[in-house]
């Protein structure tokens, strides 16, 4: 049985090939009191998908998010949007092209839901009719009833308010959504629903989402790319979730991910479309009486085929718990493991997209898939190690080649310099051979003409003969 590790959600496997929407270039932020929030950060946020920044308190993630829409200005460095430094853009123009979602929705308490959603469209000059139509459209998109449009935020639950916050961020159809720990103030069930909503919206609307959180589980489940930050805004690792789980950059990343990263990695392991097994089913509690007395598991479903629980062999007419279920096909391996572990009868219950009963997988078969997956992970780790060694060897050979080339070039230059010096000396020698050497004296003009040289006294005698006594 083969289990293939895959990315279940997100983008193509070559994120570096995509055009960058937001680029942080050597960005630092130091506050007046000396607190360093961000330290020389270089980070490229791709132009689609979900990028998550995660880290402990004080790692600068909220500061980074606020620098994107210029609520905070960097102390140094540059932030660019499609190649244009954002400092050159007007703040109002910039912010109206970005949606912003914060904790608790951040709704205006004195405005109705439709008015909250229409905040940015109103600033852009939209008509009331267009704003209302857009608000109704977005309410449906985020899973809320249109009847809520005229209510006030206080009349909604926390989860509903957060959905309205997402709708408001999408109102003017921005290119970028900034999300500042948007799910931290809601309970776990609502949080899971909102996370799925945001991932669904990203796939349908193809928006770029930059989300920050302190929750590593949320980062790994939400992000196509995850930036792990240290205290002081130092980037520790920027990679895909599965790569961070399998190959943390250092001890800090490994400790922040947690010791259960092997179990978490099952979220990124796909499962083969293995044939499901069938068990006996009954429709309601009345029909389950007497069932299961043979010891064979019997699943109770309702009239629509939705699983309710397992017949209790020890107490006829009563139900055991169902445990969690998994969606077939397409569920990550972690869902299968969870369903197998929580089943009271050791059978993981599969449901279709409509949540109706589809079949079961025995826990033993699920564990076989886990075993196969771990074998693939081990093989992958060996392959990575081999590749790393091959890359290191190739780098060593290349370094030796470059060193040899450098040495040869230096030797060539020394030879050329020596040859030039030798030529200089030879030229100097040739010049010397053309000049008088030793006791040789210059020849007189008369000698040059072939005449005998005359002494100074002879010349003076000639001069005296010509004088009058």
Where residue 387 falls among pLDDT bands split at 50, 70, 90? confident
Residue 315 has pLDDT above 50, yes or no: yes
The arithmetic mean of pLDDT across residues 17-29, rounded, is 78
Q: What is the pTM of this model?
A: 0.63
- Judgement on whether residues 238 and 305 belong to the same structural domain of the protein: no
Last residue of a domain, one of 368, 392, 414: 368
Residue 191 has pLDDT above 90, yes or no: no
Question: What's the half-sphere exposure (Cβ side, CA atoms, 13 Å) at 61?
Answer: 26
pLDDT digits 0-9 by tens, 332-376: 888 888 888 888 888 888 888 888 888 888 888 888 888 887 777
275 domain-assigned: no
Q: Which of 96-100, 232-236, 268-272: highest mean pLDDT? A: 232-236
Residue 185 has pLDDT above 90, yes or no: no
- Judgement on whether residues 72 and 156 belong to the same structural domain of the protein: yes
Q: CB burial class (10 A; 0-12, 13-18, 19+) of residue 340?
A: buried
Whole-angstrom Cα distance, residue 60 to residue 30?
10
- Judgement on whether residues 105 and 243 belong to the same structural domain of the protein: yes
Nearest in space to 63 (alpha carbons), one of 107, 90, 91, 30: 30
Q: Residue 413: what pLDDT?
A: 92
Where residue 303 falls among pLDDT bands split at 50, 70, 90? confident
Residue 227 has pLDDT above 50, yes or no: yes
Structure tokens at 310: 């397992």
328: containing domain:
280-368
11 domain-assigned: no
252: left (phi over 0), alpha (psi -120 to 50) or beta: alpha
CATH number at residue 363: 3.10.580.10
Whole-angstrom Cα distance, residue 347 to residue 151?
46
Residue 269 has pLDDT above 70, yes or no: no
Whole-angstrom Cα distance, residue 50 to residue 65?
14
CATH number at residue 180: 3.40.50.300
- Judgement on whether residues 234 and 286 belong to the same structural domain of the protein: no
- Judgement on whether residues 328 and 224 belong to the same structural domain of the protein: no
Q: Residue 270: what pLDDT?
A: 66
Nearest in space to 257 (alpha carbons), one of 208, 210, 209, 223: 223
Where residue 9 falls among pLDDT bands split at 50, 70, 90? very low
Nearest in space to 234 (alpha carbons), one of 69, 39, 54: 39
- Judgement on whether residues 171 and 307 belong to the same structural domain of the protein: no
Residue 399 has pLDDT above 80, yes or no: yes
Where residue 27 falls among pLDDT bands split at 50, 70, 90? very high
181 domain-assigned: yes
Q: What is the CA radius of gyration of the chain?
A: 41
Q: Are 158 and 123 in contact (CB under 8 A)?
A: no
- Judgement on whether residues 332 and 196 belong to the same structural domain of the protein: no
Last residue of a domain, one of 368, 403, 430: 368
Q: Residue 10: what pLDDT?
A: 31
Evaluate the CA torsion angle 235, 237, 238, 244 in order and state its sign: negative
- For residue 36, give Cα distances in angstroms to 74, 158, 400, 443: 11, 34, 42, 88
426 domain-assigned: no
Last residue of a domain, one of 368, 403, 418: 368
Averaged pLDDT score across all residues of the chain: 81
Residue 113 has pLDDT above 90, yes or no: yes
pLDDT digits 0-9 by tens, 432-442: 877 655 555 55
Q: Residue 127: what pLDDT?
A: 92
60 domain-assigned: yes
461 domain-assigned: no
- Judgement on whether residues 118 and 231 belong to the same structural domain of the protein: yes
- Judgement on whether residues 196 and 334 belong to the same structural domain of the protein: no
380 domain-assigned: no
Evaluate the CA torsion angle 365, 368, 374, 378 in order and state its sign: negative
Where do we find the tokens 């450098």? 406
Quick one: CA torsion of 389, 392, 393, 397, rounded to 10 degrees?
170
Q: Residue 87: what pLDDT?
A: 92
- Judgement on whether residues 251 and 153 belong to the same structural domain of the protein: yes
Counted domains in the chain: 2
443 domain-assigned: no
The arithmetic mean of pLDDT across residues 133-154, rounded, is 91
SS3 label, residue 347:
strand
């Amino acid at each position: 049985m083969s289990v293939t590790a895959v990315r279940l959600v997100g983008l193509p496997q070559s994120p570096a090939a995509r055009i960058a929407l937001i680029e942080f270039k050597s960005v630092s932020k130091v506050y007046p009191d000396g607190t360093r929030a961000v330290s020389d950060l270089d980070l490229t946020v791709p132009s689609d998908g979900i990028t998550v920044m995660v880290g402990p308190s004080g790692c600068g993630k909220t500061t980074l998010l606020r620098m994107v829409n210029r609520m905070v200005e960097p102390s140094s460095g540059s932030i660019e949007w499609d190649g244009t430094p954002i400092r050159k853009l007007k703040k109002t123009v910039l912010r109206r092209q970005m949606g912003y979602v914060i904790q608790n929705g951040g709704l205006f308490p004195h405005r109705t839901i439709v008015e909250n959603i229409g905040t940015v469209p109103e600033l852009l000059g939209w008509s009331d009719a267009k704003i209302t139509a857009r608000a109704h459209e977005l309410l449906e998109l985020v899973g809320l009833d249109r009847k809520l449009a005229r209510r006030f935020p206080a009349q909604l639950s926390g989860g509903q308010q957060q959905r309205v916050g997402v709708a408001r961020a999408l109102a003017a159809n921005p290119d970028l959504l900034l999300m500042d720990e948007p799910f931290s103030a809601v309970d776990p069930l609502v949080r899971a629903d909102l996370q799925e909503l945001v991932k669904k919206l990203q796939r349908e609307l193809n928006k770029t989402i930059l989300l920050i959180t302190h929750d590593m589980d949320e980062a790994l489940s939400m992000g196509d790319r995850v930036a792990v930050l240290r205290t002081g805004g130092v980037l520790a690792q920027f990679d895909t979730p599965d790569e961070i789980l399998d190959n943390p950059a250092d001890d800090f990343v490994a400790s922040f991910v947690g010791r259960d990263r092997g179990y978490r990695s099952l979220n990124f392991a796909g499962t083969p479309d293995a044939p499901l097994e069938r068990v006996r089913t009954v429709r309601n509690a009345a029909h389950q009486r007497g069932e299961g007395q043979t010891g064979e598991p019997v699943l109770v479903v309702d009239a629509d085929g939705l699983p309710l629980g397992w017949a209790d062999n020890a107490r006829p007419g009563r139900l055991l718990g169902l445990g969690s279920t998994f969606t077939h096909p397409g569920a990550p391996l972690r869902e299968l493991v969870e369903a197998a572990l929580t089943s009271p009868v050791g059978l993981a219950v599969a449901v279709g997209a409509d949540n109706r009963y589809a079949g079961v997988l025995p826990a033993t078969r699920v564990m076989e898939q886990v075993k196969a997956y771990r074998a693939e992970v081990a093989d992958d780790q060996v392959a990575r190690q081999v590749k790393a060694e091959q890359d290191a060897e190739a780098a060593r050979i290349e370094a030796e080649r470059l060193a040899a080339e450098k040495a040869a070039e230096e030797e060539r230059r020394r030879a050329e310099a020596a040859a030039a010096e030798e030529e200089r000396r030879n030229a100097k020698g040739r010049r010397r051979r053309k000049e008088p050497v030793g006791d040789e004296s210059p020849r007189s003009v008369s000698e040059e003409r072939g005449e005998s040289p005359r002494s100074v006294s002879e010349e003076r005698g000639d001069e005296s003969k010509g004088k009058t006594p």
